Each structure stands twice: as structure tokens, then as C-alpha cells.
Structure 1
Amino acid sequence: MTFHMPAETAAHDRIWMAFPSSGYALGDTEDEAEAARRTWAAVARATSEFTPVTVVVSTSQTDHAHRHLGEGISHPITVVNAELDDAWMRDIGPSFVVDDNGKLHAVDWVFNGWGAQEWATWDHDQHIGRFVANQAGVPILDSQLRNEGGGFHVDGQGTVLATRSVQLDPGRNPDLTEADVEAEFARTIGAKKVIWLDHGLYRDNQTFGTRGHVDIVAAMPSPGVVLIHDQRNPEHPDFEFSQSLKTQFRAETTAEGQPFEVVAIPAPEVLRDDEGWVDYSYVNHLVTNDGVIACTFDDPMDAEAVSVLEQVYPGRKVVGVDARELYARGGGIHCITQQQATVS
């Protein structure tokens, strides 16, 4: 039996999320905790305009979740309980794929805290992929690859984007080669061609990052089109990387042999926060049914970024959600969501 992962632009039955429950995701004070809850809930409510949402919530946070999620929704937001370490559903949840009979399955990657990072815990999160699959009522496709959903991106036709600093990370898969990873991607998500980037954005490669997730760097809004994080300020360490990405993709083709149209989406003008160089990125958005849920940053580039997203996703409504509280904790809107594809 063969499997393929639909593009994120395919129809969705549901979006899965997790609710912040402990540690740095909540913060050190009740004010910080409320800011986190409000932001995660704002993404869930915006998404519910287009697609039903299920949020996995630690028991201790159930009342908070109902308080924040229950207003201003279009489709149902369902709360289910499971214990969590963190709240990045893209990474701890499964990747939904379809077999050659049109049946949905869930790939359960091995999650080990983004390469066994010293600051990470994953006693609970390592079980969430299986939990979500069971909640969705779909068979599990087990993988021994240490991997996260934010660490790769597909076009639905066999082209996969990945970074060597993630899948070949010594903390994740120390004994694997590119060919090994490509073979496992072929088996589980239907990869025909993997386009390797060396690493991710500068901040994401520092101590509290993922070691280089692709989902804040590049995305394929349609086959043959690649959206590139465009850091235009030469003061920022991502400036040279953005230039090299454009060069790389102009020389690349899809799995089908189609040259890429390279579309640059600007980085926000803000360069630094209290921790150093930012990795704020408009690439990190969720596409679901008739909508696009986009990161905004109260930044002069917000309007241009929304315009670019409207152009590459024609006919979909782009809804901005302020993502600064998410990025303060290590990610964006794509990082906290995971789509469940619709199957006929």
C-alpha cells in the first residue's frame, strides 16, 4: 500500500490544536499565562470561521480553555483532554496521509523534544500523535523517524521541503543519511523528490529553537510556486540566507520537473526583541478550506504580507492574528495547528 500527504490547500475536515498548559508556553506570571491563552484561542476562533477545530487540553487547563474558546466561533471548537508538556500541535501531533484506496491514516513520528533539547520535556507530548489519531478514528502509520510536522512541507504531488539541520540532526537521527530520510518520506508521505535546505532561520537555530524548521522559511502555496521568507535588511543575519534561498529555488524543479516561480514575502521590519534577532515570519501561516490564518506583528510589513498571501491563495479570505505572543514562546500559527484532510 502506498500513501501520500495532501497539500495544505486540500480540503480539511478539522484542524487540531493544543492549549498551553505549563512551562514557558504559559510563562512565569498569570498575566503571561492569560496572554498565551488569549493568543492560542484567537487562532482557534479565527480558524473556526472556516473549519471545525479540536483543541487538546491538559485537565488542569480545561476551565481556562472553555473560558477563552467559547466566544465568537462559526464552526464548533471541541475540547478533549490529554496531558501535555507543550502546545505545538504541528510538531507533537500526527501528519495525516491518504492511502491508494482513499482512506485516511495518521503518521506517528517519534517526537523527542526537537532533538532532545535540554530545555524541552516530552513525557506526555510523545504520545499525542497516537492520541490524536485515535480521536480522529483513523489507522496509525508508525514511523521511527524523529521528526516534527514543522520540519517538512509538501506540495501534494510528491515535492517535499526539508532541512538538513532537522532530519539529519545528531539529536534526532544520528545514524541516518539523506537517502534514508528520503526513503522514509517516500514510504510515509509519498515523497518523490526532497529539496534540502541546509538550515532554517538564525534565531530558530539558536538554543531555544527547533534547529531549523522549514515552516518559517519556505512554503509551496501551489505546485511550482514557492513562498520565500525575504529578509530585506542586510543588518539581520537572515539577509544572506534569504538571498541564497531565492537562488537555490530558481535553479530547482518540482518532483514533476516544473521550474519554481519564486515569490518573496517580506520579513517584518522589526529586527530584534528582548532576546536578540527575531525570526518573525509570514511564511508560518495556516491554510484551511476557504481561509488563510496569517501571522501579523503590528508591523509596517503586515499589509504587504497579507497582500502576497491573497495573491498566492486566490479566492481565500486572509485573516490576520497578532502572533507576537506565539513567537515570544518559540513559534507561529502554523506551528500550533495541524490539518486533518477530507477524504471522499
Structure 2
Amino acid sequence: MTWTMPAETARQERIWMGFPREGATLGDSSTAREAGYAAWTAVAHAVAEFEPVTMIVDPTEEARARRMLGSGIDIVVRELDEFWLRDSGPTFVLDAQGRLGAVDWIFNGWGGGDWVNIRHDRGLATFIAGLAGAELIPSLLVNEGGGLHVDGKGTILLTETVQLDPDRNPHADKARVEAEMARTLGSTKTIWLPRGLARDYETFGTRGHVDIVACFASPGTILVHEQPDPAHPDHATMREIRALLAAATDAQGRAFRLIDLPAPATLTDAHGPVDWSYINHLVVNDGVIACGFGEDRADARARDILAEAYPGRRVVTVDARELFARGGGVHCITQQQPAAGGRG
């Protein structure tokens, strides 16, 4: 059986999310925790304007989730540790007849940092696949949904420091990873990026997820994070990655049209260089949920670029600073389920 991961612009059935629960990721003060709850809730409400949202909620947070989310979000109660559903949950695919499948990657907490607790996240992909009515596709690859991006036509973006991370897949090489991506996602052409953004290698980072670096707006078109300030370490990294993408071709042999998506002006926070990136947006039915960083001019510029890259979709900005402070963004906390019956 051949499975294919549709482009994120394909029609969607719903978005899956996980509600925050107390722990290292959420924060160690009541102020930090409340800010985290509010950030996840804001994203859910923004998505719900366009399509259904199903939120997995740990029993310890059920009362809070029902109060904050309201009646417009579907709530499913299940024990949960991490709440970055793009990574801990399944990656959805379709077969040639449009039947839904769900790839069950091995999730080890982004290489298994000492702060990670994922005891209850084992089996999460199987649980979600059952709710979605999807055929489970087991995989022995340690991987996360934020560590890949596809154009739906055979091309996939990966990062050497993620899938080839010795703390994830110590015996893997590029050929083995590419074969597994072909089996599970239908990819026929892999573009390997050398690394991700600098902050992503800190304590709560993913060690190079591509979904803050570059993404396909459509087949043949890639949105690329741009850090214009030479004082930021990502300036040199993104020059290298942009040059690599400019020289690459897709599964059909076409050169890419690259669209630069400049970072906001803020370079640092209390912990060092930030990795604020507008690449980490979520495409939904008839819309785009964009990250905002409290910079009106930069946020508006990003909305304009995204609106042009995704014609016919309404771009909505949600403040993502509290998400990035915890290691991710809008794309990282959501996972799209494509509509069965079409490959888009």
C-alpha cells in the first residue's frame, strides 16, 4: 500500500492539539502557567474560526480546559505529559483511494533531555488514530512531525541534526531515513538541511526542527526564514540554507521559487538570541494562523507575505511569544488531519 502525506494546503478534516499541564514546559510560577494556558487557548480559538479542533486534555486539567476553551472546542480526556501534538502525536497520510492513515513515530522527547517526561505519551498516536478512524502505520524511526515538511508531490525537507541525531536514531544514515520517509509519507526526493536555528539547540529545543526554518507554500515555492541582522547567529545559518535551497530541485526536477520571510526586529531575550520565526504558521481551511511577536510593523509585513503566498486565505495573527519561550510556535502545537477522499 502506498501512503502519501498531503500538502498542508490540502483540505482538512480538523486540527488536533494538546492542552498544557503542569510541569517543566509550562513553567514554575502561577504567572508563567497562566500565560501558557492562555497562549494554547488563543491558538485553539483562532483555528476554530476555520475548522473543528479536538483538544487532548489530561484529567488534571479538565476543569480548566472546559472553562477556558468553552463549547466550541472538542475535548477528549486522556493522560498526557507533553502537549506539542505535532511531535508527540501521529502524522496523517492518505492512500491512493483517499483512506486515512496515521504514522506512529517513536517519540523520545526530542532526543530525551533530562527534563522530559513522556510516560503517558506512549500510545498517544495509536489513541488519536483510533479516534480519527485512521489505519495505524507503525515506524521504528524516532521522529517528530515538526521535523519534516512536504509539498504533497514527493518532496520533503529534513534536518541532519534531527533525524540523524545520535540521541534519536544512533544507527540511521540518510539512506535509511529516506527509505522510511518514502514508505510512510510517499516522499521521493529529500532535501537535507544542515541544521536549524541557534536557540533550537538550547534546553527546550528540538535540535533543528525545519518548521521554523523553511516550508512549502505550494509545490515549487518555499518560504524561507530570513534573519537580516549579521549580529544574530541565525544570519549566517540562513544564508547557508537559502543558498542550498536555491541550488536544489524538487521531486519533479524544478528549481524553487524562494520567498523570504524576515524575522521580527527583536534579537535577544533574557536567555540569549531568540528564534522568533514567522515560518512556524499553520495553514487551515481558507486561512492561515500566523505567529505574532508584538511588533506591529513586522507582524503586518509577515501577514502580507503569507497572504500573497497563500492566495484566497485569511491570515490571522496570534501572539506566539509565550509559545516560543517554551520551545515552539503555532505549528508545533497543532497537527492537521487531512480530509479523507482527496490528496489535495
Bucket of the pairwise TM-score, normalised by the shorter protein: over 0.9
Gaps of 5+ in 1: none
Q: Does residue 259 of the first structure (1) align with residue 250 of the second (2)?
A: no
The aligned counterpart of 2:43 is 43
Question: Secondary structure of 1:45's partner?
Answer: helix
Provide the C-alpha distance between the structure 1 equivalents of 2:326 and 2:190, rounded to a whole number of angstroms: 29
Matched, 1:87 2:83: yes
Indicate if the aligned counterparts of 1:112 and 1:126 stay in contact, CA closer than 8 A.
no
167, 176, 183: which one pairs with 1:180?
A: 176
Q: Distance in 2 between matches of 1:81 and 1:122?
A: 17
TM-score scaled by structure 2? 0.97
**Alpha-carbon separation, structure 1, partners of 2:124 and 2:272:** 32
Partner of 1:340: 337
Matching residue's letter, 2:112: A
1:132 aligned residue (128, 146, 149) = 128
Q: Match for 1:169 among 162, 165, 180? A: 165
Aligned pair 1:111/2:107, yes or no? yes
Deviations 1:225-274 (A, max 9, x none): 01110000000000011111221111111111111001000011100111
The alpha carbon displacement at 1:19 in A equals 0.4
Match of 1:316 in 2: 313
SS of 2:279 mapped into structure 1: coil
Match of 1:307 in 2: 304
Aligned to 2:281: 285
Spell out, residue by residue over 1:293-329, the C-alpha distance to the aligned partner (whole angstroms, 9 max, x if none): 0000012411111111011001000000000011111
Q: Distance in 1 between matches of 2:271 and 2:137?
A: 39
| Matched position secondary structure for 1:332 | coil
Q: How far apart in 1 are the matches of 2:198 and 2:29?
A: 28
- Alignment deviations for residues 83-113 of structure 1 (CA, whole Å, 9 cap, x no partner): 1111100000100001122211100000001
Measure the CA separation in 1 of the matches of 2:181 and 2:92: 13
Which stretch shows the higher mean deviation, 50-59 or 131-140? 131-140
Identity among equivalent positions (%) equals 54
Equivalent position amino acid for 2:305 in 1: V
Can you list the C-alpha shifts for 1:192-250, whole angstroms capped at 9, x where unaligned? 00100011000002232111100000000100001110000000000011111221111
- In structure 2, the gaps of 5 or more residues are none
**Aligned residue number for residue 98 of structure 1:** 94
Cα offset, 1:121, TM superposition: 1.4
Contact 1:25 1:36 in 2 (8 A): no
Indicate the residue corresponding to 1:120 in structure 2: 116
CA deviation digits over 1:29-78, x for unaligned, max 9? 2222111111101000000011100000000101111111117xxxx410
Which aligned segments of 4 or more residues in structure 1 are displaced greater than 4 angstroms?
none
Q: Which moved more, 1:200-209 or 1:14-23?
A: 200-209
TM-score normalized with structure 1 length:
0.97
In structure 2, what is the Cα distance between the partners aligned to 1:25 and 1:170?
Answer: 23
Paired AA for residue 77 in structure 1: I
Measure, in 1, the Cα distance between the counterparts of 2:280 and 2:290.
7
Q: Is the 8 A contact 2:100 2:133 kept in 1?
A: no
**Corresponding position of 1:199:** 195
Given that 2:24 and 2:115 are in contact with CA atoms closer than 8 Å, whether structure 1 keeps it comes out as no
Partner of 1:66: 66
2:194, 2:241 within 8 Å by CA — same for their partners in 1?
A: no
Say whether the 8 Å CA contact 2:26–2:32 is kept in structure 1: yes
CA-atom RMSD in angstroms: 0.9
SS of equivalent residue, structure 1 residue 70: helix
Q: Which amino acid aligns with 1:171?
A: D
Measure, in 1, the Cα distance between the counterparts of 2:270 and 2:5: 38
